[in-house]
Structure 1
């Protein structure tokens, strides 16, 4: 039966954890995926060569243009002397260029006829020769336009189509004849002269002859290579020196309105913009990255849950902060280009500043790394397969600086001081990029970028100060800032204790000092322990004179009532205090300490006093109803509460008496099971014992009377 109950309890715990951790992480991961989807997904195009681009097309990947690399390698090899092996590739390429010129002229004329424009008087609009040449050059490869004079194009355009076709066939035949015989370095001039002479003595139209004569200088190149070991080695060396022709990610392949030549079309095809299948892989990669990020967040949330530090407010904080930071990055990325680099102004440190104050520093560091990675994706210029490394490094150092400089939080000025430290780190990081860059930055640009870094730090501080109260009040999260506000003597409840129960106030201050020191010694939240200790006995203000620390020059009221009545009054004070704290909307952690600091301990004095007259007195009637301390801080306050009261009652507190009292109280709490429900370990209990003793010895040092030599 117990086994079944345990299994049911385990299933319920797993189900609860699935709802509290997995579901929020899945929602957060889905949001990350949707915001970064277009940073890895590329649009494909349905285009044809020799058409005008409807939009600017950039390469989504970095890839080698093997065909262009091969062409450059071939050019390098061609420059090597003594080559006699005829390369058909060269002749085909050059003849291809000639065919491209004539084909482009034919296409130009057909386009002009199709346009058939007229002016306002109905007269046909004729393009000038210069305009025709410009349009023709847009249809041609760069190799042609860079090496052929405009005058050649002008003459060819003026030739009738039939004559031009005839000239093309004659010219190509002469070229093929020369290439078949082989054109070497030493005879290239002869080959050019031969082609020119053949053209001059042909029956072609004179204007066409002149154009082809000029074109011969471009059309005839070396295609015969000497085959020997020395020449082969030279060729290999020349080829190895050629750098691969790369198409870089983000490189503009064709601009809007520009003609898509065969060369451009091949580049577009090479980078995969004509193949829809390639788009799947970057999306799969993004999904894997998001799964890893979500897993890390789930692991950290599970770690917090294991330590009982995870509640609905903190889960909501992680989600809201992540939504805010990533959304802010995405919005700014829409206006970021290579020229303005607006990612420098993103107040990304806002998230870790809030997380460190609301949850803990470890989670802040983890999220800083994850936010930096996501920032590298978001600011990649929507180029799949790339990350903006500058953005990643900048975001990481900016957030890490925020975590480091946010220390000794005593007021909201601590955030401002952290902002100043962030500004310095941001500017240093930006200057680092400037100095590492090959680009030359103007002094004005450096100041602008540095201003972005300072602005990022300033905005981070402003957003943190503005959003912190929302998380503290709206989600009920207790931050160090809130604790410091509650520790102010001007707080109404602390004034109430001071004026209505001054002895209790002094007792609470002493307990706060002991508790904070003990918590710091074992790594617990010392500030929470101090503030909670201030309020733990607030319930005594309802009947202050029934507690011995407030009985100054008055008769003890317990002398005139029964022990059972006295116990009832004393036992009520933790719960009266909890009700009072709830009424003033104090944080749950402080209310829990007020309710738990006596656990289920026994009021021994009144119990044994009742036993003297009533042998049937029940022990449970003289025990606090609990609950027992659930946290380390509550347990430490419970111990220090008893220790302070006991030591204060000593007339002559010596080191031996202090050690004895602390040991008795700690052992009594352990034996009574009062520490069973808190996460304190035996090692931590020993450290707490030692720390309390050292602190009390320091407090009562001036009153300790050491034994004399005779007593020794």
Structure 2
């Protein structure tokens, strides 16, 4: 028997150069994201001159206040505010009091003269002249009246009969109060006096009384309204604050094709940054910083996956291509989207996170869902720099999160379609949320159309996931749970071959699968991978099934007829025969590795010691498996479970003590022999595996009641 070379374990190139393999695709993604979103933040600039015709219709790329126009409008509004005046009620009361004083004094004077005439001698008493009456009247009137009022006015009032005079008094005071209450300013005294005189002129009073009252109005009406600077300033401030800012709205037409570019239009173009190339550079800086943040998060997640041993070239490629596909789908739809049709509802954005959850990890899917939503809010911002479409971003996030949550209990590809129905419900709810939050009125047809977009998005996401999943599984060599479930089906050709040609090995593989799956789940390893790997780990025994004891039913052991060296070679070859068969049937690399590594470099003790009985100089290396040693937790646990199951099955009466003794012996032997040195299992995890395997075996090989045999009569 020729000595076989030990397998030299080498780390994959991408593990040695993880920075290159992670940062290179992330950098390419960053460049892709940048150019896809560039026109959403960067606006075209124009070289235009005043008073020339515009060669094309130009829209405003942003919403901004036209401060110059707002100032002009504010200035005009302030200038239109009238001055505020305070009307002095004291002056009004004073002038009314003066008029009453005049009429009361005349009435009193006439009353005294009448009494004197009645009490005196008719032959000697002479009636007073008007001039004398005026002099007596002036002696009892206030100085302000006598100094300002002409004697002729008093004389005319004295001549008017008392009844007519009282009517005139009532009319005059009423008109005076109305005039003064409206306020009389220095510049409109004459107009106020004229108004009173017109009222007197068109009254039904005696002409003499009208004349006297007309002259009296010049005395009665004076300035009683004075400029109030505080009220005026307050009114102007209120008027200025009520002016709405003059806004240039994003998408607003600034100049149409063929229209003359006036000074006003030119200033608007300059204001929105369509003439300033330097100003147009800042949005690019902002976009670059955002892309750096997004890709930094992606790179961090990749390094985290690499640290816990869950990253390989296939998964790196998956994140790259999935991100590329999702963002490209958004960009294509955005080219046909407007503020009216809201086509972002139909984007099958959840496709990406569904694939990521199936191929990589749920945490990674949730993280990417948030990043894709942010990019979507930029892509669907209607190319308005500095703005984000929060509605689109929110819709994308909830749609993707629904896909991650509803994709559970994956047993077959129908789980994706079931998740699609859950996404459909969440999409429709999100659409209705936006409708009810909006102040705009929606027609019932628009409501159904938008809800239909949401349902179509969920359906397309599920269909695209089903269509793209085989591509990622095959082209990038990624093993998903769905693929594992398919491989675990008893109808698989290799499992059928194992069952028909090596039934004992098939039963042994089923038992190893149960034990290893439970142990893997206990330490956080992939239990499903361990189960499927255990199904196929001994497929190589189908090459020579009868050389393995579990398949030797009612036949002689063929190893009794051949030398130990040849027997060892047959036994040692089965992992590599199995790996070859698995490779020919294009099974995943993880399954092939388990088949190749499940014996590591262990010693085939039975045939080694049998050979040593006749040849003391036997080379131990010839009776060892060439390896490699288990490289993963799943392979290491299957390595232990394989030996434990075979050993416990050989016991005639397996008790708890015997099971624990055998498991401990095998685990210690694998550790001392260095078979677990290259696996990521820790000592703490190994103890958990030990305890879990013991508990599982005790459940399988539990003691049974010995039923009595019926005696033959």
Q: Structure 2 vs 1, CA of residues 245 and 664 (structure 1 numbering), >3 Å: closer, same or farther?
A: farther
Deviates more, 1:681-690 or 1:392-401: 681-690
- State the Cα distance separating 1:469 from its structure 2 match: 1.4
Distance in 2 (alpha carbons) for counterparts of 1:523 and 1:56? 62
Distance in 1 (alpha carbons) for counterparts of 2:705 and 2:611? 36
- Alignment partner, residue 654 of structure 2: 653
- Alignment partner, residue 340 of structure 1: 341
Distance in 2 (alpha carbons) for counterparts of 1:446 and 1:273? 37
- Alignment partner, residue 276 of structure 2: 275
| SS state at 2:570 partner | helix
- Alignment partner, residue 480 of structure 1: 481
Aligned pairs for 1:433-448 (under 5 A) are: 433-448=434-449
Q: Structure 2 vs 1, CA of residues 407 and 233 (structure 1 numbering), >3 Å: closer, same or farther?
A: same
Distance in 1 (alpha carbons) for counterparts of 2:628 and 2:234? 90
- State the Cα distance separating 1:627 from its structure 2 match: 0.4
- Larger-gyration structure (1/2): 2
- Alignment partner, residue 679 of structure 2: 678
Deviates more, 1:511-520 or 1:610-619: 610-619
CA displacement 1:662-708 (0-9 Å, x = unmatched): 22222221222111111112222122122222222222235399xxx
Deviates more, 1:326-335 or 1:12-21: 12-21
Alignment pair present for 1:388 and 2:389: yes
CA displacement 1:121-149 (0-9 Å, x = unmatched): xxxxxxxxxxxxxxxxxxxxxxxxxxxxx
Q: Structure 2 vs 1, CA of residues 647 and 402 (structure 1 numbering), >3 Å: closer, same or farther?
A: same
Aligned pairs for 1:228-377 (under 5 A) are: 228-256=229-257, 260-377=261-378
Deviates more, 1:668-677 or 1:251-260: 251-260
CA displacement 1:25-76 (0-9 Å, x = unmatched): 2222212112111111101233355655443333323322222333443455
Q: Structure 2 vs 1, CA of residues 240 and 447 (structure 1 numbering), >3 Å: closer, same or farther?
A: same
Distance in 1 (alpha carbons) for counterparts of 2:527 and 2:459? 30
- Alignment partner, residue 29 of structure 2: 28
Question: Runs of 5+ in structure 2 lacking a partner?
Answer: 1-9, 86-184, 192-225, 707-713
Deviates more, 1:251-260 or 1:638-647: 251-260
Distance in 1 (alpha carbons) for counterparts of 2:491 and 2:507? 16
2:54–2:259 CA contact under 8 A, matched in 1: yes
1:65–1:270 CA contact under 8 A, matched in 2: yes
- State the Cα distance separating 1:298 from its structure 2 match: 2.2
- Alignment partner, residue 457 of structure 1: 458
Q: Structure 2 vs 1, CA of residues 232 and 599 (structure 1 numbering), >3 Å: closer, same or farther?
A: same
- Alignment partner, residue 540 of structure 2: 539
1:655–1:704 CA contact under 8 A, matched in 2: no
2:14–2:312 CA contact under 8 A, matched in 1: no
Aligned pairs for 1:34-49 (under 5 A) are: 34-48=35-49
Distance in 1 (alpha carbons) for counterparts of 2:436 and 2:60? 28
Distance in 2 (alpha carbons) for counterparts of 1:567 and 1:331? 63
Aligned pairs for 1:42-61 (under 5 A) are: 42-48=43-49, 53-61=54-62
Distance in 2 (alpha carbons) for counterparts of 1:227 and 1:276? 51
Q: Structure 2 vs 1, CA of residues 605 and 437 (structure 1 numbering), >3 Å: closer, same or farther?
A: same
| SS state at 2:613 partner | helix
- State the Cα distance separating 1:248 from its structure 2 match: 3.8
TM-score by length of 2: 0.74
CA displacement 1:173-208 (0-9 Å, x = unmatched): xxxxxxxxxxx9x99xx9xxxxxxxxxxxxxxxxxx
- Alignment partner, residue 643 of structure 1: 644
| SS state at 2:254 partner | strand
| SS state at 2:338 partner | coil
Deviates more, 1:412-421 or 1:666-675: 666-675
Q: CA RMSD in A?
A: 2.6
Distance in 2 (alpha carbons) for counterparts of 1:286 and 1:490? 53
Distance in 2 (alpha carbons) for counterparts of 1:47 and 1:83? 48
Q: Structure 2 vs 1, CA of residues 13 and 552 (structure 1 numbering), >3 Å: closer, same or farther?
A: closer
Q: Structure 2 vs 1, CA of residues 31 and 535 (structure 1 numbering), >3 Å: closer, same or farther?
A: same
- State the Cα distance separating 1:287 from its structure 2 match: 1.6
Distance in 2 (alpha carbons) for counterparts of 1:371 and 1:51? 44
1:487–1:531 CA contact under 8 A, matched in 2: yes
CA displacement 1:299-357 (0-9 Å, x = unmatched): 22233333443333333322222222111111111100000011110111111111221
| SS state at 1:613 partner | coil
2:14–2:313 CA contact under 8 A, matched in 1: no
Aligned pairs for 1:470-509 (under 5 A) are: 470-509=471-510
CA displacement 1:142-167 (0-9 Å, x = unmatched): xxxxxxxxxxxxxxxxxxxxxxxxxx
1:536–1:594 CA contact under 8 A, matched in 2: yes
2:655–2:703 CA contact under 8 A, matched in 1: no
- State the Cα distance separating 1:478 from its structure 2 match: 1.5
TM-score by length of 1: 0.74
1:43–1:273 CA contact under 8 A, matched in 2: yes
Distance in 2 (alpha carbons) for counterparts of 1:702 and 1:396? 55
1:520–1:526 CA contact under 8 A, matched in 2: yes
Aligned pairs for 1:390-429 (under 5 A) are: 390-429=391-430
- Alignment partner, residue 112 of structure 1: none
- State the Cα distance separating 1:654 from its structure 2 match: 2.1
- State the Cα distance separating 1:431 from its structure 2 match: 0.9
- Alignment partner, residue 517 of structure 2: 516
Distance in 2 (alpha carbons) for counterparts of 1:231 and 1:18? 72
- Alignment partner, residue 571 of structure 2: 570
- Alignment partner, residue 603 of structure 1: 604
- State the Cα distance separating 1:226 from its structure 2 match: 6.2
- State the Cα distance separating 1:594 from its structure 2 match: 0.2
Aligned pairs for 1:169-180 (under 5 A) are: none
Distance in 1 (alpha carbons) for counterparts of 2:15 and 2:285? 30
Distance in 2 (alpha carbons) for counterparts of 1:65 and 1:557? 98
Distance in 1 (alpha carbons) for counterparts of 2:76 and 2:699? 88
2:84–2:231 CA contact under 8 A, matched in 1: no
- State the Cα distance separating 1:381 from its structure 2 match: 0.8
Distance in 1 (alpha carbons) for counterparts of 2:364 and 2:691? 31
- State the Cα distance separating 1:291 from its structure 2 match: 1.9
Distance in 2 (alpha carbons) for counterparts of 1:279 and 1:266? 16
Distance in 2 (alpha carbons) for counterparts of 1:251 and 1:662? 78
CA displacement 1:182-240 (0-9 Å, x = unmatched): xx9x99xx9xxxxxxxxxxxxxxxxxxxxxxxxxxxxxxxxxx9661232233334434
Distance in 2 (alpha carbons) for counterparts of 1:530 and 1:375? 40
CA displacement 1:387-428 (0-9 Å, x = unmatched): 111111111111111111111111111110011111011111
Distance in 2 (alpha carbons) for counterparts of 1:460 and 1:690? 43
Distance in 2 (alpha carbons) for counterparts of 1:602 and 1:237? 97
| SS state at 1:579 partner | helix
- State the Cα distance separating 1:283 from its structure 2 match: 1.1
| SS state at 1:253 partner | strand
| SS state at 1:630 partner | coil
Distance in 1 (alpha carbons) for counterparts of 2:445 and 2:270? 41
